Amino acid sequence: MYDNLEDHVSHSHQEPHFDSPDTSSFEKQVEGLKQTLLSKGLITQVELEEMIAELDQRTPFDGAQIIARAWTERDFRNRLIANGTKAVSELGYHPPDDFQSLVVLANTEFLHHLIVCTLCSCYPRWLLGRPPDWYKSIAYRSRAVSDPRGILNEFGVTLDPNISIRVVDSTAEVRYMVLPLRPSGTDNLNMKELVGLITRDSLIGVGLPHSPSVG
Amino acid sequence: MPKPHDLGGKPHFDPIVLKTTLPVDWELTIDGISSLLRKKGFYLTDELRRYIEKIDPEQYLNMTYYGRWCTAITNILIEKQLIAEDDIQKQLDLL
Amino acid sequence: MDNLLGHTETYSAGDLVRVSYDSRIMEHVRTPLYIQGKCGTIVKSHGKFANPEKLAYGLQSSPKVHLYMVEFYLVNIWTTAYANDSHDSICLDIFEHWLTSI
């Protein structure tokens, strides 16, 4: 099990006004809709189970593998930045629709990228799985574009003022993933160890990769 | 009048809740239904988005993500006459 | 300028553009309100994509439109909240029919 996702399975006790509400009523509503679709023959139980299983397959572990490879292979890194869609297809990752594409944004010493979708919650699901709750929240979608440094502070990241932030609002069928800077002191790590440093949050730009543990 | 989904720069100052929960069964179900119906060609992504954006502004802000999906998918299928409101009610009565 | 696929793009990297205002008659657009009327710089072309304003009504065969990544300084968008010396920016993907040269 991948344990660096910071994706704890526990219910939050902090319930902000705009992102709390509803749930029990939809549990029934969804069941009613599902039974209707099944009884009308629009979908089958097998098709639905297969689709859920397919969606379950992708996790940030997939994105982390791609990034670790870019950290270790200069040519792959160049191809990934030049044409993300094509480069990840080498590794067997393909968008769900042929019109969707991928752009990978490389952080530098002077530039940090942060990804949001203000209009809905577009997310590179085919590389990172389902988006985390906060990515879909009213608060993140509202403020990421107007106060990115404030947002980063909430995630525990304070950037040097000399590093510019470039927010990217995913408004079309292009999906974005961040290529974070490789932490120093990682020259001797193997691929598996590098993958272990890469968090989901660092691929969205609200976090940084872990530093290798000392000793 | 801006629509509720067009959130960029709006003054929603609630703190970001960092803890995330894994989707529960009904959320996985509607997530799967959404992808499956799109794959089978019953609607396009932007059609679904349009129906999500049509949700009443106050309701939109008070619904969870997958709650909006359930509402929009139901409405789009009814409008396309693939299902009727009665069909769902009948199934709900059986639950 | 012609790209490898022979599509003629109106804008190329570095061009200055202004985003149109939407009269809000259209029911589904992918250009957020906060960027309408703002001036930015073309970063790159993504190629041609189906127009979401048509797709929203199930119209799949409408002509494809050029899509660009456009960058704006945050100081030009949130004029009071941002310090003048900030280089922080935002990029959005915007369809050609929303853009005019400046």
Tokens of B11: 């003054």
Report yes or no: B52 and B89 within 8 Å, Cβ to Cβ. no
Q: Which residue of B44, B49, B53, B79 is the best one to mutate when testing the C interface, meaning the one whose CB has the most C CBs within 10 A?
A: B44
* Residue A43 β-bridge partners: none
Closest-CA distance, B89 to chain C, in angstroms, reads 27
Contact A143 B13 (CB under 8 A): yes
If asked whether residues A162 and A87 sit together in one domain, one would say: yes
If asked whether residues A134 and A53 sit together in one domain, one would say: no
Tokens of A32: 């009613």
If asked whether residues A33 and A113 sit together in one domain, one would say: no
If asked whether residues A74 and A142 sit together in one domain, one would say: yes
Catalytic residue status for A24:
no
Q: Give domain status of residue A110, yes or no.
A: yes
Contact C90 A166 (CB under 8 A): yes
Looking at residue C23, its pLDDT comes to 63
Using CA atoms, how far residue B47 sits from B65, B80, C55, C78, in Å, is: 17, 11, 6, 31
Write down the domain spans for chain C. 16-101
Q: Give domain status of residue A212, yes or no.
A: no
Q: Give domain status of residue A188, yes or no.
A: yes
**Domain C16-101 belongs in CATH node 3.30.43.10:** no
Q: Give the CATH number, domain containing residue A84.
A: 3.90.330.10
pLDDT in tens, chain A (215 residues): 344 444 433 333 333 344 445 566 899 999 999 999 999 999 999 999 999 999 999 999 999 999 999 999 999 999 999 999 999 999 999 998 888 999 999 999 999 999 999 999 999 999 999 999 999 999 999 999 999 999 999 999 999 999 999 999 999 999 999 999 999 999 999 999 999 999 999 999 999 999 997 54
Looking at residue C8, its pLDDT comes to 77
If asked whether residues A84 and A169 sit together in one domain, one would say: yes
Q: Do the bridges between strand A174-179 and strand C65-73 make them parallel or antiparallel, or are there none, so unpaired?
A: unpaired
Q: Give domain status of residue A167, yes or no.
A: yes
Closest-CA distance, A165 to chain C, in angstroms, reads 5
If asked whether residues A63 and A53 sit together in one domain, one would say: no
C51-99 confidence digits (pLDDT tens): 999 999 999 998 999 999 999 999 999 987 777 678 999 999 999 999 9
If asked whether residues A37 and A137 sit together in one domain, one would say: no
User: Which residues, 6 or more positions from C35, have their beta carbon under 8 angstroms from its beta carbon?
Assistant: A169, B8, C19, C72, C77, C90, C92, C94
Given a contact as 3+ CB pairs under 8 Å, which chains touch C?
A, B
If asked whether residues A110 and A137 sit together in one domain, one would say: yes
If asked whether residues A166 and A190 sit together in one domain, one would say: yes
- Residue A182: which domain range? 58-204
Percentage above 90 pLDDT, chain B: 83
Q: In b/e form, how buried is each residue of B21-60, taking b as 16+ CB within 10 angstroms? A: eebeebbbbbbbbbbbbbeeebbbbbbbbbbbbbbeeeeb
Closest CA to A139 of A26, A16, A38: A16
Query: Which is catalytic among the residues A12, A20, A120, A146?
Result: A120
Looking at residue A9, its pLDDT comes to 33
Q: Give domain status of residue A3, yes or no.
A: no
B63-87 confidence digits (pLDDT tens): 999 999 999 999 999 999 999 999 9
Given a contact as 3+ CB pairs under 8 Å, which chains touch A?
B, C
Looking at residue B12, its pLDDT comes to 85
Highest mean pLDDT among A48-62, B1-15, C24-38: A48-62
If asked whether residues A146 and A48 sit together in one domain, one would say: no
Q: In b/e form, how buried is each residue of A85-97, taking b as 16+ CB within 10 angstroms? A: bebbeeeebebee
Residue finishing a domain among A57, A72, A105: A57
Question: A with C: how many residue pairs have Cβ under 8 Å apart?
Answer: 65
The chain A residue lying nearest B12, using CA atoms, is: A139
If asked whether residues A64 and A32 sit together in one domain, one would say: no
If asked whether residues A96 and A27 sit together in one domain, one would say: no
Contact B44 C33 (CB under 8 A): no
Q: Give domain status of residue A8, yes or no.
A: no
Q: Give domain status of residue A30, yes or no.
A: yes
Closest by Cβ to B44, choosing from C35, C60, C78: C60
Catalytic residue status for A170:
no
* Banded model confidence at residue B95, pLDDT cuts 50, 70, 90: confident
Contact A103 C69 (CB under 8 A): yes
Contact C57 B45 (CB under 8 A): no
Looking at residue A7, its pLDDT comes to 41
Domains of chain B: 25-94 (1.10.472.20)
For chain A, the domain total comes to 2
Q: What is the mean pLDDT of chain B?
A: 93
